[in-house]
């Protein structure tokens, strides 16, 4: 029986790249989308063309109260493949934000918390009995927890919390031989933050100057790193924050 992954936010960007990288390694994936059902269905077709299986489910991580219903849908999706558990959980879905300490609204803070911490915490809690012993959980943080990007204070603080969560969870799940790590991508050319890294020439140049390898990352480079961290070769990496940035702000 092949491995099964669950990836949040697999319709675009880093999540999509991770789903495709996993498919190339023979891993079947149930991934989620929020607004882009059409893009999600295109990813399912791309996975199938690679010889693996995928299902796309709707999920809104800004509404943690919907997670119980989502988990029921997830169980149904697993049953369609005649399995009751999955091997890898990648908590990737998310959005950025731009505000200062002075002008961050309560609403923005609550949204960042709901998307980047509360939903991850609760999705793990609600799927713990569905993750195979010996499985993997990979959370997604950001380089911005190590270096400061002006205006990213709310986003980066809450991503920082997911790094602490990762270490605690790794300790708790050790007896079940489940590893828990957090990948911290550097600036990567996706739709994220309105596509700023990819489309804003000034920002793109500033990022390129700050990266040892001289350019922003591409989604496929993060997708490959995700698949790599989930592979058997990385089985002894646990409780770690792995930055994948081409060497940003060394």
Contact residues for ligand NDP, defined by CB under 6 A: 9, 11-15, 32-36, 39, 59-62, 92-95, 115, 140, 142, 185, 187-188, 190-192, 197
Which is nearer to ligand NDP, 60 or 221 (by Cβ)?
Answer: 60
Which is nearer to ligand NDP, 41 or 83 (by Cβ)?
Answer: 41
Question: Can you tell me the distance from the alpha carbon of 106 to that of 102, in angstroms, rounded to the nearest whole number?
Answer: 11
Question: What single string gives the DSSP state of each residue in 166-210?
Answer: HHHHHHHHGGGT-EEEEEEE-SEESSHHHHHHHH-HHHHHHHHHH
Q: Name the minimum Å distance from CB 134 to ligand NDP.
A: 26
Q: Name the minimum Å distance from CB 11 to ligand NDP.
A: 4
Q: Name the minimum Å distance from CB 91 to ligand NDP.
A: 8
Q: Name the minimum Å distance from CB 241 to ligand NDP.
A: 12
Q: Name the minimum Å distance from CB 122 to ligand NDP.
A: 13
- Residues whose CB falls within 8 Å of the CB of residue 226, separated by 6 or more in sequence, listed in order: 14, 17, 18, 21, 22, 90, 92, 138, 183
Catalytic position from the list 33, 98, 113, 155: 155
Q: Is 155 a catalytic residue?
A: yes
Q: Measuring CA to CA, how many Å separate 125 from each of 63, 163, 170?
A: 16, 16, 13
| Cα dihedral sign, 101-105-110-113 | negative
Q: How far is CA 67 from the centre of its chain?
A: 17
Question: Can you tell me the distance from the alpha carbon of 123 to that of 238, in angstroms, rounded to the nearest whole number?
Answer: 20
* Alpha helices (H) in the chain, listed in sequence order: 13-24, 37-49, 67-80, 106-113, 119-127, 153-173, 192-199, 201-210, 219-230
Catalytically annotated residues: 155
């Amino acid at each position: 029986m092949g491995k099964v992954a669950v990836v949040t936010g697999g319709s675009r960007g880093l999540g999509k790249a991770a789903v495709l990288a996993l498919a190339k390694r023979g891993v079947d994936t149930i991934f989620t989308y929020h607004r882009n059902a059409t893009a999600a269905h295109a990813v399912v077709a791309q996975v199938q063309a690679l010889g693996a299986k995928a299902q796309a489910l709707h999920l809104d991580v800004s509404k943690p109260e919907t997670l119980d219903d989502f988990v029921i849908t997830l169980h149904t999706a697993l049953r369609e493949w005649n399995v009751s558990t999955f091997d890898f959980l990648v908590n990737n879905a998310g959005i950025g934000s731009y505000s200062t300490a002075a002008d961050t609204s309560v609403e923005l803070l609550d949204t960042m918390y709901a998307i980047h911490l509360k939903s991850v915490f609760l999705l793990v809690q609600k799927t713990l009995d569905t993750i195979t012993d010996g499985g993997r959980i990979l959370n997604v943080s950001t380089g911005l927890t190590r270096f400061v990007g002006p205006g990213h204070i709310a986003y980066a603080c809450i991503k920082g919390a997911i790094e602490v969560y990762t270490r605690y969870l790794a300790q708790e799940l050790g007896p079940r031989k489940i590893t828990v790590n957090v990948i911290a991508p550097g600036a990567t050319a996706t739709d994220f933050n309105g596509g700023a890294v990819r489309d804003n020439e000034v920002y793109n140049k500033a990022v390129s100057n700050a990266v040892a390898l001289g350019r922003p990352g591409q989604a496929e480079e993060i997708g490959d790193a995700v698949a790599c961290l989930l592979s058997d070769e990385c089985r002894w990496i646990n409780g770690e924050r792995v930055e994948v940035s081409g060497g940003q702000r060394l």
